[in-house]
Chain A
Amino acid sequence: MSDSPPNSGTQDHAAQATESLPKRLLRATEVDTRMLGLIGALVMIWVCFHFLSDGRFLTPRNLWNLSVQTSSVAVMATGMVLIIVTRHIDLSVGSLLGFVAMIMGVTQTAFLPDVMGVGSDWIWVVTLLVGICLGAFIGGVHGFIIAYAGVPAFIVTLGGLLVWRGLAWWVTTGQTVSPMDPTFRLIGGGPYGSIGAFWSWMVAIAACVGIVFSIAIGRINRKRFNFPLRPMWAELTMAAIGCASVLGAVATANSYPWPRGIVKRYAEQNSITVPEGGLFIAHGIAIPVLIAVGVGIVMTFIATRTRFGRYVFAMGGNPEAAELAGINTRWVTMKIFILMGVLCAIAGAISTARLNASTNAQGTLDELLVIAAAVIGGTSLSGGIGTIVGAIIGALVMQSLQSGMVLLGVDAPFQAVVVGVVLVLAVWLDGLYRSRSV
C-alpha cells in the first residue's frame, strides 16, 4: 500500500498520521492481514489447549511431535494449493499415498534386497526414486484424463481414490509390510531421524541469512528501477520477526532431549561416560520437518517465481484469458497433477518411514485433511487465490486441533466432529473476510 495513487496521496498522509501503531506497521510491511488472522488463530488454539491440558501442550516434546505429525499432510497440502487455485480438486491423494507407500515398502523389503544385497546403502535412494517416479506417473495419468480427455477432476480423482486404495490392497493382498530399511526410516523422524543441536543451529543461521538476503535483494532491485520502497524500519521489523521465529523454533527443537533409554544405549555404543544427572542429547529439527520446510520453500518458489506458477494463478483467475494469452493450459494442468503425485510420494515416504511399515489403510482420509489444510490456509475454492505458506500453517492448525484433543483425551469420533465444524467455520469466516476486502 506504500504506492498509493498520487491523487489520494494527501488523504493518505492525513490518515497515516492518525493511525495507530499496529495499523501503520501493517501498512508499511504490506503483511497480508488474512495470514495474520490465521497465525492468530493458531496461537489461540495453542494457548487454549495449553491451559486446558494443564500446561502439557506448549512443551518442547509436544511441539516437536506436532511438527513431525504435520509434515506429511503439509507436503501434500502445498500441491493441493495449486490444484485448487486452478479450480480443480484432488480426492485421490490419500489413496495415492497409500498405493505409492505400499510399492515403496515392497520395493525396499522384498525386491531390492534380492537385487542389491541385504543392507545395501543405496536401497533407500532407489526406493525413493521408484516412489517419486510412480507418483509422477499416476499424477500424470490423472492430469492427462482431466486436461486432455476433459473429465472433471472431481470424478477422475474420485475414481482414483477407489482404484489406488484397491490396488494398494492387491499388492500384498492386505498384508502389512515391515520393517523398513534403517536409512529409509530416518525420513520419518525419531531421535536418530533428527539432525541434532549443532546442525539445527546451522540451519537456523542459514535461514536467517536467507531471510535478510532476500529482503535486501528485493530492496536493491526496486531501488534500481526507482520504484516506491517500503520504509527501512518496516523491512528491519520483518527481518527481525522472521529471524526470531526461526531461532525460536530451533531453540524449542533443541530443548527436547532424547529419551533416557536411547541415550543410554547410544552412550554404551559410543563408549561415552554418562555424567551424573544424565546426558542431554537434543533432538534438533526432525528430518521430515526439514523435508516439509524444503518442499514448502521449493513450492513457494515454483508458485511465485516461475512461469509455471504464474500460469497456474492466471488460469485460476480467468481460464479463458489464460488460453487467449497463448498459454498451453492443458499441459499446465497435467503438470500440476504430476507435481501432486510427486508430493504424495514424498509424503508417503515420510509416513511409511515414521510407521516403519506400509499398511493397507495408510493415508485413509488424508485427502480431507489436505484439502482442509489448503482451504483453512486461505486457498479459495473459486480459484485464483492461495499461498503455500498458508496451506502449511493450515496443516499445522488441523494437526494442532487433533493432537490437542488427543492430549485432552477427547474420543476419536468427537475429534472428527470438531475438525469438521472448524473446517466449515473457517471457510465461512474466510468468505466474510473476502466479501469485505475486495
Chain B
Amino acid sequence: MNSKHETTNVSDSNSITKQTDEAATTVIEMHDCSISFGGIHAVQNASLSLKKGEVVALLGHNGAGKSTFIKLLSGAYKRDTGVIKVRGEEATINNPRDAKSYGIETIYQTLALADNVDTAANLYLGRELRTVWGTLDDVAMEAKAREVMGRLNPRFQRFKEPVKALSGGQRQSVAIARAILFDAQILIMDEPTAALGPQETAQVGELIKQLKKDGISIFLISHDIEDVFELADSVAVMKNGQMVGTAPVSDVTRDDVLGMIILGKCPPGAVRGPGAIDTELA
C-alpha cells in the first residue's frame, strides 16, 4: 500500500517514515471535490481527510453543502471533479455499491429505509443472506437482526412489522444497525440525532464513542455544537459549498466554530480552506 510513497521519497529518510505513518492512519482523503447541479455549484473544491478511529464533525448552515459533499463519498452522487483516496489508494466511487465495497457505510438524514418491509429486510437490503438453494434466508436474517438490534435497543421486539410502524428512535436504530452490521470501517452519519429525544440522543452518543474505541472512523454531520465538542476529534466547517477550514476540537473554542459557520471566518488555530473569508479585508 505504501510502496508508491517509499519509492518516490527514497532520497529523504525522514519523509519516508512520515509518509508511511500518515498512510497507515489516514483512511479517507478527499481532494478538491466538486459537484454542480445545473448552474449551481453545490460543492466547490472541498477537501477533507479522516484518520483511523477519528471522529470528524462537519458543520455548516442548511444548504452549506455538507450532505452533498458527504454523498460524494457515500456514492449517492457522482463527483464532477476531485480525487478520493481510501487507505492511501485512489478509489472509484460512482455509486453506493462502490462505496460499500470500500467499507464505507452511511446513515442518511432521511434514514433511507424501505418503509413497507420489516427490520431484517431493511438491515440486509441489497446484501440479503441466501440459503443453499439461492432463496432468501429470512430466518437467519431475522436472527442476526435480533442480535444486532438487541445490542443497540434491547427493548425492541417489533421484528415482524414494517418499519413505518416504528417510532422515530426505533427507525433510527434500524438505520444505525444497518450501517454497523457489515463491519464498516468508515461510517458517515448525517444528522443521526435530529429526529431523536434527549435520551435516545445520549444513546447514539454512547454508540459513537464505542465505535470510535473499536477503531471505526466517523464523519459526523451535526447541527448541535455541544454534541460536536463532546464527540468529535476535529471539526470541519462548510459555507456556500466551500470548506472554510478544519481544526482539532482542542484548538478552537465554540465561538471560533460559530464564527466559521456564520461569518466564514477562519480562526488562528484552524487550517484555512478556500471558503474562508478574510475579515480584515471584508
From the candidates B115, B130, B139, B158, name the one contacting A307 in the complex (CB within 8 A).
Answer: B130
A13 at the interface (CB under 8 A from B): no
Q: Contact mask A52-87 → B, CB, 8 Å, 1/0?
A: 000000000000000000000000000000000000
Count of B interface residues, CB-CB < 8 Å: 38
Compute how far the CA of A4 lies from the CA of B155 in the bound complex, rounded to whole angstroms. 11
Beyond A221-B139, A227-B142, A305-B136, whether A321 also contacts B112 by CB under 8 A is: yes
Contacts of A384 in B (CB 8 A): 114-116
B209 at the interface (CB under 8 A from A): no
From the candidates B76, B115, B121, name the one contacting A310 in the complex (CB within 8 A).
Answer: B121
Q: Contact mask B124-154 → A, CB, 8 Å, 1/0?
A: 0111101000111001101100000000000
* Closest B residue, CB atoms, query A5: B157
In angstroms, how far is the closest chain B Cβ from the Cβ of A326? 4
Q: Is the CB of A326 within 8 A of B135?
A: no
Secondary structure dominating the interface of B = loop
Contacts of B112 in A (CB 8 A): 318, 320-321, 324-325
From the candidates B113, B134, B164, name the one contacting A438 in the complex (CB within 8 A).
Answer: B164
Q: Contact mask B84-104 → A, CB, 8 Å, 1/0?
A: 000000000001110010000
Contacts of B155 in A (CB 8 A): 5-7
* Closest A residue, CB atoms, query B160: A3
In angstroms, how far is the closest chain A Cβ from the Cβ of B94? 12
Q: Is the CB of A326 within 8 A of B139?
A: no
In angstroms, how far is the closest chain B Cβ from the Cβ of A106? 38
Q: Contact mask A307-345 → B, CB, 8 Å, 1/0?
A: 100110111111011111111100000000000000000
Q: Is the CB of A318 within 8 A of B113?
A: yes
Compute how far the CA of A352 lies from the CA of B42 in the bound complex, rounded to whole angstroms. 58
Most buried by B among A222, A311, A324: A324
Q: Is the CB of B142 within 8 A of A310?
A: no
Q: Contact mask A1-41 → B, CB, 8 Å, 1/0?
A: 10111110000000000000000000000000000000000
B229 at the interface (CB under 8 A from A): no
Contacts of B165 in A (CB 8 A): 438
Beyond A3-B157, A222-B139, whether A326 also contacts B96 by CB under 8 A is: yes
A270 at the interface (CB under 8 A from B): no
Compute how far the CA of A84 lies from the CA of B134 in the bound complex, rounded to whole angstroms. 26
From the candidates A305, A315, A317, A320, name the one contacting B135 in the complex (CB within 8 A).
Answer: A305
Contacts of B96 in A (CB 8 A): 323-326
B110 at the interface (CB under 8 A from A): yes
Compute how far the CA of A70 lies from the CA of B130 in the bound complex, rounded to whole angstroms. 35
Compute how far the CA of A301 lies from the CA of B133 in the bound complex, rounded to whole angstroms. 13
Contacts of A318 in B (CB 8 A): 112-116
A:223-246 near B, CB below 8 Å = 224-225, 227
From the candidates A4, A5, A317, A326, name the one contacting B116 in the complex (CB within 8 A).
Answer: A317
B117 at the interface (CB under 8 A from A): yes
A306 at the interface (CB under 8 A from B): yes
Q: List 26 A-B contacts (CB under 8 A).
A: A1-B160, A3-B157, A6-B157, A225-B140, A225-B142, A227-B139, A227-B142, A227-B143, A301-B135, A310-B121, A310-B125, A310-B136, A311-B126, A313-B114, A318-B112, A321-B113, A322-B114, A322-B125, A324-B74, A324-B108, A324-B112, A325-B96, A384-B116, A385-B116, A438-B162, A438-B165
B interface residues with partner A (beta carbon < 8 Å): 74, 76, 95-97, 100, 106, 108, 110-117, 121, 125-128, 130, 134-136, 139-140, 142-143, 155-160, 162, 164-165
A-B contacts besides A7-B155, A321-B114, 12 pairs, CB < 8 Å:
A4-B157, A224-B139, A225-B139, A227-B139, A310-B117, A314-B121, A314-B125, A322-B114, A324-B74, A324-B112, A327-B125, A384-B116
A interface residues with partner B (beta carbon < 8 Å): 1, 3-7, 221-222, 224-225, 227, 301, 304-307, 310-311, 313-318, 320-328, 384-385, 438
